Amino acid sequence: MSIYSHSQLSTYEECPLKYKLRYRDKIKRDTEGVEAFLGSRVHETLKKCYDDARLTKVNALPDLLSFYETIWGQNWHDEIVVTRKDVTPGHYKALGKKMIETYYSRYAPFGSDTTIDTEMRVVFSLDDGGKYQLQGYIDRLSRSGDGIYHIHDYKTSAHLPGQSDADSDRQLALYHIGVKRRWPDIQQVRLVWHYLAFDRELVSARSDDTLTELATGTRKLIDDIETATDFPPGESRLCEWCEYPDLCPRRKHLYMVESLPVNQYLKEPGVILVNRFAELKDKAAEIGEEMDLVRDAIVDYAKREQVTAIKGSGSQVRIKFDKKLRFPGKNDEGRRELDAAIIRAGKWMEVSQLDATALSRAIEKSAWDERLINAVLSHGRIEETSTVFMSKVKNNDE
């Protein structure tokens, strides 16, 4: 079994296809989001800050900022992607600088706790046999005067999560397991997230029971990944930063046409088909509405004139007035009582029929025992079907 990381597990949960392309097929891409680039430079700067402080050298803020500027320039490359159209790399660079300044003014001279390590690699297993291996990097591990260990994580994201998110976060809780495995005598561990853009710390802790539950859940997730044979795309807002749009059935067409000049874009066969389909759907909706109105007017006319047939120029309509017995629908009030009354009377088989959709769902979820599923499957067949859904395209900047 491979050694897993938290980000590997999250990638599988977010999008199994991306997981497969990145970790199973090992398809490398040079592109890097500017947000990730900014995060790496800020992490490196704070690492230097604490590494030097451990050697009793407290950097002045201008020195740290100059270090940041230097590594920004040295590492910048042409494959860095800025997704937002209204923001430049300069804005991101300035944001990183501001984060370092804010952090510095809050924590300098960095002596409130003892730094044990920075960017510390932890490798540990989630079981006694060493089958479920995990690894990760702790941004900074420290010990405060009261003997409590702190696992620090720097966050450069533009989103500040709530306390409940911190209390259920998996990454640092896994690192907590790793730290406890390495130093079993450690009694108390705190998980600390530094949300640098907001000058906010979020602090959380985990009980032994919670860690045991987490280890069990994570082992199950690893088993799922190891045995997976199907890797469907999991479309989400994270697709904007995905490095595989050209290999993903959900994004490939969009990726292919977005760089085309307008005149070529409008001639692309897929674009032509979808535009025509959208036009026809709009027309169909318009016609449907008008048909309902005309149909109601015909019924009104027939009632008013007391006729059951109306002749047009080349066609006629017949109107049938009838009374129908209605019963509560599947989810309507009173339906359960109705079903129960028929079942009690022993007449259910005379008036019910198989719900093929519910049956397919039960098979897909493996909700029944294997023998029954196999027996049912022997009566079924796989047919290829296709459904075309249409929705409005969201603008990137919305």
Binding site for ligand SF4 (CB under 6 A): 15, 17-18, 233-235, 238-239, 242, 244-245, 248, 250-251
Residue 98's nearest CA partner among 42, 49, 154, 59 is 42
Chain-centre distance for alpha carbon 295: 46
Nearer to ligand SF4, 178 or 233 (CB): 233
* For ligand SF4, the closer CB: 10 or 210: 10
CB of 243 to ligand SF4, least distance (A): 8
Q: How far is the CB of 16 from ligand SF4 (least distance, A)?
A: 8
Percent composition of the chain: helix, strand, coil (DSSP 3-state, to 5): 50, 15, 35
Q: To the nearest whole angstrom, how small is the minimum distance from the Cβ of residue 9 to ligand SF4?
A: 15
Nearer to ligand SF4 among residue 15 and residue 53 (C-beta)? 15
Closest by CA to 59, choosing from 69, 72, 45, is: 45
Minimum CB distance to ligand SF4 smaller for 96 or for 233: 233
Residue 114: both structure tokens together: 């003892």
CB of 254 to ligand SF4, least distance (A): 9
Query: What is the distance of C-alpha 304 from the center of its chain?
Result: 58
Q: What CA–CA distance (Å, rounded) separates 22 from 249?
A: 16
Closer by beta carbon to ligand SF4, 161 or else 234: 234
In the complex, what is the shortest distance from the CB of residue 1 to ligand SF4, in angstroms, rounded to a whole number? 24
Question: Could you tell me if 69 and 50 are in contact, meaning their C-beta atoms sit under 8 angstroms apart?
Answer: no
Measured from the CB atom, the residue of 99 and 247 that comes closer to ligand SF4 is 247
CB of 216 to ligand SF4, least distance (A): 28
Cβ closer to ligand SF4: 15 or 192?
15
Q: Which is closer to ligand SF4, CB of 246 or CB of 282? A: 246
Contact 154, 43 (CB under 8 A): yes
Phi, psi dihedrals of residue 373, rounded to the nearest 5°: -60, -45
Find tokens 């993903």 and name the residue: 248
- What is the spatial distance between Cα 188 and Cα 180, in angstroms, rounded to a whole number? 9
Cα separation, 88 vs 44, in Å, equals 22
CB-based burial of residue 271 (10 Å sphere; 0-12 exposed, 13-18 middle, 19+ buried)?
middle
Tokens 């290999």, residue located: 247
Q: Name the DSSP letter for residue 241.
A: G
Q: How far is the CB of 15 from ligand SF4 (least distance, A)?
A: 3
- 53-54-55-56 Cα dihedral, nearest 10 degrees: 50
Smaller CB distance to ligand SF4: residue 111 or 232? Answer: 232
